[in-house]
């Protein structure tokens, strides 16, 4: 039972991550490989505030969202001048910088040793100490994230994001401030990713930079692509599939060292297969294709 609850909690965390990236990459068409950086910033902000200041859990979440959102604005600004492959490289660079800071600022982040002993969250005097309690907590924030994304996508703001994805020049010609929309969508997506980071930090009670690498960003992007970009429920399906799939290897009896490599092979194979034969993923309405393919 505890194992099942653990898997469900991880699914909930990755649902928050994937739907927030889907808002940026799927609904707006800005392919980003920096989402694990926002995820990590959220986790480290919550962990440091809890350990050093013993601040309330909800205050930690708010601070994590604000700081990660500000960093999201810094990543969104390059999208005003560069596009397509160049923008992907810019987000990759930001991801590498963020990981390097977390890994080398030993006096503040703990460096490779990480931050152990993160306390369990307390909300309105109730301490979340059991796995079932964490599942409820993650489920509430997961449902809240899905509701916010749904409201954004169905609003006039969401329709402008879709217009930017389909034809940025046309959106500008229609009088929309494309630059502001791009930066704002990064702020929102980064803030939501920070929520997942806070959940992860308090659930595991330990974080280190290896949880927020480039590979983690690619994994989150894989969830969006395989589940279906531009769809509300596509990333949810993708999160369930890609979180549960490697767990099935436990029942095959493979050694842990071999299973880790097999997991990466499966992820890569699925990503290639979907990009070749089903670029819209399971439930997506948008395919990540080159400019020539779209034209």
- Phi and psi at 116, nearest 5°, equal -90, 165
87-107 pLDDT, tens digit each: 899 999 999 999 999 999 999
Q: Does some domain include residue 48?
A: yes
> How many domains would you assign to the chain?
1
Q: Angle, to 10 degrees, between the axis of helix 178-204 and the axis of helix 156-166? A: 110
Q: Does some domain include residue 31?
A: yes
pLDDT for residue 292 is more than 50:
no
**Rounded to whole angstroms, how far apart are CA atoms 186 and 175?**
21
145-169 pLDDT, tens digit each: 999 999 999 999 999 999 999 888 8
Q: Does some domain include residue 131?
A: yes
pLDDT of residue 26: 92
Q: How confident is the model at residue 288 (pLDDT cuts 50, 70, 90)?
A: low
pLDDT for residue 295 is more than 50:
no
Q: Does some domain include residue 97?
A: yes
pTM greater than 0.75 (yes/no): yes
pLDDT for residue 190 is more than 50:
yes
Most confident of 77-91, 174-188, 239-253: 174-188
Residues present in the chain in total: 295
Q: Does some domain include residue 96?
A: yes
Q: Angle, to 10 degrees, between the axis of helix 178-204 and the axis of helix 57-76? A: 140
Supply the range of the domain harboring residue 20. 2-212
Q: Does some domain include residue 101?
A: yes
Least confident interval from 11-15, 43-47, 226-230, 256-260: 256-260
Q: What is the mean pLDDT of residues 188-215?
A: 95
Share of the chain above pLDDT 70, in %: 95
The residue that leads in pLDDT, 267 or 226, is 226
pLDDT of residue 268: 82
pLDDT of residue 246: 79
The residue that leads in pLDDT, 40 or 286, is 40
Q: What is the mean pLDDT of residues 5-26?
A: 96
3-state secondary structure of 286: strand
Full DSSP string of 165-183: HH-HHHHHHTT--HHHHHH
Residue 34 gets which letter from DSSP? -
Least confident interval from 14-28, 45-59, 218-232, 281-295: 281-295
Tokens representing 165 are 């994805």
Helices marked H in 105-233 — which ranges?
A: 106-109, 131-154, 156-166, 168-173, 178-204, 214-227
The residue that leads in pLDDT, 264 or 6, is 6
**Rounded to whole angstroms, how far apart are CA atoms 127 and 120?**
7
pLDDT of residue 83: 80
Chain-wide mean pLDDT for the chain? Answer: 90
Q: Does some domain include residue 127?
A: yes
Q: Does some domain include residue 276?
A: no
pLDDT of residue 280: 85
CB atoms within 10 A of CB 199: 26
Most confident of 29-33, 43-47, 172-176, 242-246: 43-47
**Rounded to whole angstroms, how far apart are CA atoms 257 and 290?**
36
pLDDT for residue 290 is more than 70:
no
34-47 pLDDT, tens digit each: 999 999 999 999 99
CB atoms within 10 A of CB 108: 13
Q: What is the mean pLDDT of residues 269-285?
A: 83
């Amino acid at each position: 039972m505890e194992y099942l609850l653990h898997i469900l909690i991880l699914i909930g965390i990755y649902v928050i991550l994937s739907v927030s990236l889907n808002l940026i990459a799927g609904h707006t068409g800005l392919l980003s490989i920096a989402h694990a950086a926002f995820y990590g910033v959220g986790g480290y902000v919550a962990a440091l505030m809890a350990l050093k200041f013993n601040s309330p859990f909800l205050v930690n979440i708010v601070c994590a969202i604000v700081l990660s959102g500000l960093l999201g604005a810094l990543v969104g600004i390059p999208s005003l001048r560069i596009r397509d492959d160049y923008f992907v490289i810019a987000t990759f660079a930001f991801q590498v910088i963020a990981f390097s800071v977390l890994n080398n600022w030993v006096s503040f982040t703990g460096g490779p040793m990480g931050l152990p002993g993160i306390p369990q969250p307390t909300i309105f005097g109730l301490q979340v100490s059991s796995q079932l309690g964490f599942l409820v907590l993650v489920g509430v924030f997961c449902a809240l994230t899905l509701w916010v994304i749904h409201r954004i996508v169905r609003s006039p703001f969401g329709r402008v994001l879709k217009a930017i994805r389909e034809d940025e020049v046309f959106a500008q010609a229609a009088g929309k401030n494309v630059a502001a929309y791009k930066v704002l969508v990064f702020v929102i997506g980064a803030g939501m990713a920070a929520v997942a980071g806070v959940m992860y930090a308090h659930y595991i009670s330990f974080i280190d930079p290896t949880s927020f690498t480039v590979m983690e960003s690619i994994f989150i992007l894989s969830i969006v692509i395989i589940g279906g970009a531009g769809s509300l429920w596509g990333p949810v399906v993708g999160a369930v599939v890609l979180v549960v799939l490697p767990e099935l290897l436990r029942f095959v009896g493979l050694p842990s060292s071999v299973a880790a490599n097999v997991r990466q092979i499966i992820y890569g194979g699925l990503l290639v297969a979907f990009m070749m034969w089903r670029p819209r993923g399971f439930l997506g309405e948008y395919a990540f294709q080159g400019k020539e393919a779209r034209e």
